[in-house]
Chains A and B, each alone.
Chain A
Amino acid sequence: MSTADDTHAGAAVHRDALVAELEQRLDELAGHDETELGGFSAIDWIILVLGALVVPLLFVIRFAP
Chain B
Amino acid sequence: MNQTASGAAPDAVEKEGVFGRLPVRLGEREYSMAGAHGTCFAYAIATWCFLVGSYAADLVGAVEGTVCLIAGNLIGAFLTVMPTALACQRHGLEQMDYCKTAFGQQGAKVILLFYLINMLGWSGLLLVMFGNGVFNTFAAFGFEFGRWMVAAGAALGLLLAYLITVHGVHRLAAVNNAVTPILALVILYMLYMLFANHGWAEIAAAKPLDPTPNPAVNYAIVLELGIANGFSWWGGIGFIARNTRTRRGSVYPQVIQLGLSAGIVASIALYSALIVGSDDPTRWMVPLGGLALGSLALMTIGIANVSAVSLSLFASGLTLRHIPALRRYPWWQVVVITVIPCSMFIVWPQQLYDRGSAFLAFNGTMYAPICGVLFADFFLLRRQRVCLRSIFDNASAGAYHYWKGFNPLALGGVLLGQATYFFLYNPFTGSTHPWFVYVPASIASFVIPAAVYYAGMRLYGVRLASDHRDGRLLKPNI
Q: Given A13-B9, A18-B16, A19-B478, A32–B26 Cβ distance below 8 Å?
A: yes
Q: Could you tell me if B26 and A40 are in contact, using CB atoms closer than 8 angstroms?
A: no
Q: Which of B68-76, B174-182, B266-274, B358-366 contacts A (4 or more CB under 8 A)?
A: B68-76
Contacts of A11 in B (CB 8 A): 328
A25 touches B89 (CB 8 A): no
Cβ–Cβ contact A26 & B388, under 8 A: yes
**Interface residue? B281 (CB, 8 A):** no
In the assembled complex, 16 residue pairs joining A and B whose CB atoms fall closer than 8 Å, in A order, are A13-B8, A17-B4, A21-B5, A21-B22, A26-B392, A28-B25, A29-B23, A30-B388, A37-B246, A38-B246, A40-B86, A52-B75, A56-B75, A59-B70, A60-B67, A63-B67
Complex alpha-carbon distance, A2 and B80, angstroms: 45
- Residues of A contacting B: mostly: helix
B16 contacts which chain A residues (CB < 8 A)?
18, 21
Q: In the complex the two chains form, what is the Cα distance from A12 to B392 in whole Å?
A: 18
**B51-95 contacts to A (CB < 8 Å):** 63-64, 67-68, 70-72, 74-75, 77-78, 82, 86, 89-92
Instruction: From known contacts A18-B16, A44-B251, infer whether A56 and B70 are also in contact, taking CB-CB under 8 Å.
Output: yes
Report chain B residues within 8 Å CB of A39.
247-248
Pick from B68, B92, B251, B389: contact of A48, CB below 8 A: B251
Taking a contact as CB atoms closer than 8 A, the residue among A14, A25, A29, A64 that contacts B12 in the complex is A14
Q: Is there a chain A Cβ closer than 8 Å to B245's Cβ?
A: yes
Q: How many residues of A contact B (CB 8 A)?
A: 39
Task: Report B's interface with A, CB cutoff 8 A.
Answer: 4-9, 12-13, 16-17, 22-23, 25-26, 63-64, 67-68, 70-72, 74-75, 77-78, 82, 86, 89-92, 215-216, 218-219, 223, 245-249, 251-252, 255, 259, 328, 388-389, 392, 472-473, 476, 478
Q: Specify the chain A residue showing the minimal Cβ separation from B255.
A: A52
Task: Output the least CB separation between B262 and chain A (Å).
Answer: 13
The answer to whether A60 and B223 touch across the interface, beta carbons within 8 angstroms, is: yes
A17-B9, A19-B478, A59-B71 known; A65 and B25 CB under 8 Å?
no
Report whether B91 and A29 are in contact in the complex, using a CB–CB cutoff of 8 Å: yes
Q: How far is the CB of A21 from chain B (nearest CB, A)?
A: 5
Contact flag A56-B71 (CB < 8 Å), given A40-B248, A40-B251, A65-B216: yes
Residues of B within 8 Å of A14, CB to CB, are 8-9, 12-13
A9 within 8 A of B: no
Contacting residues, chain A, for B259 (C-beta < 8 A): 52
User: Does any Cβ of B come within 8 Å of A6's Cβ?
Assistant: no
Q: Are B251 and A22 in contact (CB under 8 A)?
A: no
Query: A6 to chain B: closest CB distance in Å?
Result: 13
Does B476 contact A22, Cβ atoms closer than 8 Å? yes
Q: A39 CA to B328 CA in the complex, in Å? A: 40
Contact partner, A53, options B12, B78, B223, B247, Cβ 8 Å: B78
Tell me whether A60 and B23 are in contact (CB under 8 A).
Answer: no
Collect the chain B residues with CB atoms within 8 Å of residue A19's CB.
473, 476, 478
5 residue pairs, one from A and one from B, having the closest CB atoms: A38-B246, A56-B71, A52-B78, A20-B5, A17-B8
* A59→B255 CA distance, assembly (Å): 18
- Given the complex of chains A and B, what is the CA–CA distance between A25 and B216 in angstroms? 53
What 1/0 flags go to A37-64 for Cβ under 8 Å of B?
1111000100011011100110110111
Contact: B392 with A40, CB < 8 Å? no
Which partner residue on chain A sits nearest B77 by CB separation?
Answer: A52
